[in-house]
Structure 1
Amino acid sequence: MKLRTCLLLLALGASGCGGAQPSSGPTVITISNPANVSNVPLHLAMDKGFFAAEGLQVKADVDLGSGSTVESVVGGQVDMAWSNLVSSLTAYSKGLGVKLVAITDTAVSGSQQVLVGKDSTARSLADLKGKKLAVLSPATVCILNVRSALKAQGLPVDLIQFTPVAPPEHANVLEGGEVAATCTSDPFRSLMIEKLGARSIYDTSSGELQGYAVGGYIVSAEFAQKNAKALAGFQRALLKATQYANAHPDEVRTSLPKFTTIKAEIAGKVIINKYLETADVTALKPEVQRIADAMQAYGLADKPINLSGYFLN
């Protein structure tokens, strides 16, 4: 009910859905963050006091839902959320008033793959014709990458059915036969390979969108306007944690079990994306534009996306 009310208020141009901030003491920022490799620097910044040094108290609740992170920001349930870039661009293009605070990482080879079960006869994307592929949400970079690969192979881009499934459930729906394949990132990718014998038939970091920006943190336009100083501090602290993460990959792996359900033996096998060391999110506009253009080309946006109001600074 609160989400519907806040969406209505936003549509009418009203306020009142943003997170409340204390008048004194540390500024509190509540964050929804999926249990993935992209969010490790956030937790490192919390654990090592980088946010506290900026006068911030960050409260990060893990969100394992599918596509709910953007809604939680728009609805005012949290102040900030990590979202895959395609989902946040979709919300922005629909006029929902989100701002990109930071991009966390870019994909490296093997970090996200289309997996099939150990007994599957599929050997390529073409073998999934007419079948269901589990994806993170209705708007995600995996859809772009798969459609791009199909086009490159001279196949129809609608050859495969995309089914939104929460990341922790990908193993269950694949093992249960509800889908023929899943598009899965670490740490769940490593878990499915290790525990289910799943195997990859396509690496989404290859092809046209190789090295794509995975996702980042978004806030509402209202929250951004009211909390400019706090968000600048957030960017600085996250940058410090990102630099630390890049310099200490083993600590990235040991951090995963602290905020996910993944055990240490699986966390030790994950592929770590390239964390982006910049506090100036506008410097990444060319990469975001590349994703936005692909969204229009492959049916996830019905017109060009004007990025002029998307970035925080």
Structure 2
Amino acid sequence: MPPHHRSTPALSGTAAACALGLLAACGGSGDTGAKVAKDSAGRSEISVTYPTNVSNVPLHIALKKGYFKEAGLSVKAEPDLGSGSTIEAIVGGQVNMAWANTVGGLTAYSKGMGVSLVAITDTARHGNQQVLVSKKSSARELADLKGKKLAVLAPTTVCILNVRSALKAQGLPTDTITFTPVSPPEHANVLSSGEVAATCTSEPFRTQMIQKLGARSVFDTDSGDLKGYPVGGYLVTSAFAKAHPKEITAFRTALSKATRYANTHPEEVRELLPTFTGTDADVAADVVINRYLENQDAATVRPLVGRVAKAMRAYGLADEPIDVSGYFADGR
């Protein structure tokens, strides 16, 4: 199965520095991302970057159906084809907004990188993200991967959290498995070549690897104490959130409308996937679609991310407890 593009599996030096909160390495500042231009119709221009996954279908629905324009925004969305970590793009000022997995976003927030959450896109459904092994592998469960490498989407991702949780539940050390960050479209390559023993892969690449490579699952991340976890969402810098509360509200309004449409029109979700992920229609027909989150008010979102924050502390992905009270961007 050929990859959609070739990229370096691990984070670049700049991305890694950003992930660790070294703002100077990212060109960040207190005003990063705060400026917004207007188009000829007077709409605020917002640039967004995102990984090519199922979570971002409502974004494309909103673009296709003009929901952002109705809300007074001119949104330009471009895919990020790197390691699945787009936080450095907003901190460095390349874009106004970026999608990131929940653990990655909370990591950046907890390290003082000055990011705020605009919206959570979806919550996990069984089958959407799994630990896959090749059809020749003798592994049948996580314990069989002891001492081996597992490819993950990013250095900070919910898969690491869930795998550590499952290992602990089985009485195994949480460092039993070595996590290796690999760009999502490259998971098929590293698994088939034997560079890793398994991959933690989400849709649509999960279905693609099962169909084309005969890969099979030995673990589903939608399990244990994190069942139904929030997958990810859109972030901005805190400076942007403070300067543009109306744009934040407008984006949420348009996205919520698109999310409701996606939840009631799953066939159109599958039709849209090949247009921005590069997957075939037969793959899109079989993907497991997460539950898109329609309600984006703070009372709904904060408990979701708070549950992940507590698990991050419990399983070694956070050195200190994370107070999420200031994470959700205010709008008006």
Give the structure-1-normalised TM-score.
0.95
Contact 2:302 2:325 survives alignment (8 Å)? no
The one of 219, 229, 241 aligned to 1:212: 229
1:257 corresponds to which of 274, 278, 290: 274
Q: What are the ranges of 5 or more consecutive residues in structure 2 without an aligned counterpart?
A: 1-12
Change (3 A) 1:12 1:269: closer
Task: Write the mapping of 1:50-69 to structure 2, written as runs, cut at 5 A.
Answer: 50-69=67-86
Match in the other structure for 1:110: 127
Residues 33, 90 of structure 2: 8 Å contact kept: no
Q: Residue 86 of structure 2: SS of its match in structure 1?
A: helix
Look up the SS of the partner of 1:99 in the other structure: strand
Structure-2 change in CA distance of 1:303 and 1:229 (3 Å): same
Q: How far did 1:222 drift?
A: 0.8
1:273-284 matched pairs, under 5 angstroms: 273-284=290-301
Q: Which runs of 5+ in 1 are unaligned?
A: none
- What displacement does 1:279 show? 2.9
1:7 matches 2:28: no
Q: Please provide the CA RMSD for this pair.
A: 2.1
* Counterpart for residue 293 of structure 1: 310
Match of 2:289 among 272, 276, 280: 272
Aligned counterparts of 1:12 and 1:28: Cα–Cα separation in 2 = 21
How far 1:23 sits from its partner (Å)?
7.9
Are residue 22 (structure 1) and residue 43 (structure 2) matched? Answer: no
Q: Distance in 2 between matches of 1:53 and 1:12?
A: 32
| Identical amino acids, percent of aligned pairs | 61
Alpha-carbon distance change, 16 to 167 in structure 1, aligned in 2, over 3 angstroms:
closer
**Correspondence for 1:193:** 210
1:124 aligns with 2:141: yes
SS of equivalent residue, structure 1 residue 154: coil
1:10 and 1:248, CA in 2 relative to 1: closer, same or farther beyond 3 A?
Answer: same
1:84 matched to 2:81: no
- Secondary structure in 2 aligned to 1:170? helix
Number of residue pairs aligned between Structure 1 and Structure 2: 313
**Could you tell me how far apart the structure 2 residues matched to 1:128 and 1:66 are?**
23
- 1:68 is paired with a residue whose SS is coil
* Aligned 8 A contact 2:32 2:239 in 1: no
Instruction: Kindly provide the amino acid, as one letter, of the partner of residue 15 in structure 1.
Output: D
Contact 1:29-1:79 within 8 A present in 2 as well: yes
Please tell me the residue identity of whatever aligns with 2:31: S
Q: Secondary structure at the match of 2:106?
A: helix
For the 8 Å contact 2:123–2:292, the answer to whether it is kept is yes
| 8 A Cα contact 2:270 2:285, kept in partner | yes
Deviation at 1:276, TM superposition (A): 0.7
Paired residue secondary structure (1:194):
helix
TM-score (norm 2): 0.90
- Equivalent AA in structure 2 for residue 22 of structure 1: K
In structure 1, the residue matched to 2:154 is: 137
Q: Aligned residue for 1:146? A: 163
Distance 1:107 1:63 in 2: 22
